[in-house]
Structure 1
Amino acid sequence: MTTWNDFNSAEDQNNFDVIPKGTLVKVRMTIRPGGYDDASQGWTGGYATQSMTTGSVYLNCEFVVLDGPYAKRKMWSLIGLHSPKGPEWANMGRAFVKGILNSSRGLHPQDNSAQAQQARRIQGFADLDGIEFVAKVEMDKDQNGDDKNVIRTAITPDQKDYAAVSGNTVQPAASTQQASSPQASASAPTGRPSWAQ
C-alpha cells in the first residue's frame, strides 16, 4: 500500500545529465499554445506566444526524444516569429522551420521541384504541432547558469547521419534540369502569407 507518510518504497529521482552537444536524435515537437494570433501574418489557432516584456512573438516548443539511449528526454526551445529589434530572429525561425519540414518530409534542401516546394508549405502552425524530425542537440545556459539542452537545428537528408537516425531512406536531390524547369520555379499565388510560402 502506498502511503504519503512513508517514502522508503518510493522510486529514486531521475537525475539526468545533459545529452552531449552534437548528438543527433529523432524528436517529436509539440507547441505550447500562447494564445497570440495575428491573422495578417498567418498566425492563427492560438499557437504563437507574445512576450509581455519584449513584445517578441515566438512558438514555445517542447521536443521529446523518440528512441535510442535518450528516449523520452525532453528539451525546450523557442522558434522566433517576430522581434521589435529587427528581422534576424524571425529569419532564423523561418530557416529552422524550413529545416524541420525538410527533415520530417525527407526533402533535400536543394530540391526545388514543384513537389518539394509544396511539401515546404503549411496550412498553419497546427501542421507543426506533433511533427517528427531529426535534430541536433545543442547547449545553452538555464536561469541558474547551468547547462541545458536545446534544439535549434534540424538535420536534413543531405547530412551524413540523417538516414541512420531518421530510419528513412534518402531520396537523391532533384536533377538540376528538373529543379530549374520553368513550371517548378514559377510561384502560383496561394493566398497564404509570404512567411508561409
Structure 2
Amino acid sequence: MSAWSDFNDAKTNTNVIPKGTLAKVRLSIRPGGFDDPSQGWTGGYATRGSTGAVYLNGEFTVLEGPYARRKIFTLIGLYSPKGPDWANMGRSLVRGMLNSARGISDKDNSPEAQTARRIRGFADLDGLEFVARIDIGTDTNGEEKNEIRGAVTPDHKEYGALMGATMAMPFPSATPSGSAPMPAPAPSPVAARPATAPTNVTRPSWAR
C-alpha cells in the first residue's frame, strides 16, 4: 500500500522540545496589572489568578540553535493561598536565572555575587537572557508542553559556550552601595543541546 494512502506508520507530529535540552532564552513578562508594593510587586508585571494565586506570566523565547524563535510559556510563582511552596520555587527559579544571566556561580556568596542576585523590581527580569534547562509538563487539557524549570549557571560545563558573547552581562546595582558587575570572558555560542534531567522548579497542580 502506498505511503500516501496508509498513514498508520507516519511519525506523530509533536512540537515539544526534548526534555533536558539546554538553550539560551530571553524572558518577557506578560503584564497582569496586579501590584502589591508591600511585597515589592510594582509596575503591573504580576498577575493574580482566579484562585488568588499571584505569578509572573513568563514568555521565554529560544534565541539560538535548532529551536531558535520557539516560545515557551511558564508561570513563575509569587504567592499561593495554599502555602509557601509555589513562591519558594518561583524564588529559586529567579535566583537561578540571575546567576545564569550575570555569570555567577550558585556557590558564590561574595558581596558581588549577593548584589548580582538582587533586583530593583520585576522590570529587571523583563528581557533577561540566560541559559535554561527545558522540561516537559502538561497543560490544562493534559497535553504535553514545554516548561522552564531551571537555569544553567557557570558551574555547568556547557554554560560558557551557550551564553556566548553576552555572558555576565552588566547589571544595575540593586543596593545603595552600587557594587560593580563582574567581568567575564565571551566564548563562542553554540546550538541548543540535550543535557541532564531538569531541576525541580515547577508549578504544582494545586497552584493552577
Q: Contact 1:25 / 1:165 at 8 angstroms: preserved in 2?
A: yes
Aligned to 2:22: 24
Q: Please point out which of 59, 62, 67 is paired with 1:65.
A: 62
Q: Between the two proteins, what is the percent identity of the paired residues?
A: 65
Say whether the 8 Å CA contact 2:34–2:44 is kept in structure 1. yes
Deviation digits for residues 111-153 of structure 1, max 9, x if unmatched? 1111111111100000000000000110011233221111111
Question: 1:162–1:168: structure 2 CA closer, same or farther, 3 Å change rule?
Answer: farther
Q: What SS does the aligned partner of 2:108 have?
A: coil
- For structure 1, the 5+ residue unaligned runs are 1-14, 172-187, 191-197
Residues 100-179 of structure 1 aligned to structure 2 (within 5 Å): 100-167=97-164
Which residue identity lines up with residue 167 of structure 1 in the other structure? G
State the AA in 2 paired with 1:49.
Answer: T
Distance 1:39 1:67, change over 3 A: same
Quick one: which amino acid aligns to residue 26 of structure 1? K
> How many pairs align?
159
How far apart, in 2, do the equivalents of 1:120 and 1:114 lie?
10
Q: Secondary structure at the match of 1:17?
A: coil
| 1:33 is the counterpart of 2:31 | yes
Q: Offset of 1:165 from its aligned partner?
A: 1.3
Corresponding residue for residue 78 of structure 1: 75
**Partners of 2:101 and 2:167 within 8 A in 1:** no
Distance 2:29 2:167 in 1: 27
TM-score, normalised on structure 2? 0.72
Q: Which amino acid aligns with 1:58?
A: Y
| Distance in structure 1 (CA, Å) of the matches to 2:86 and 2:140 | 21
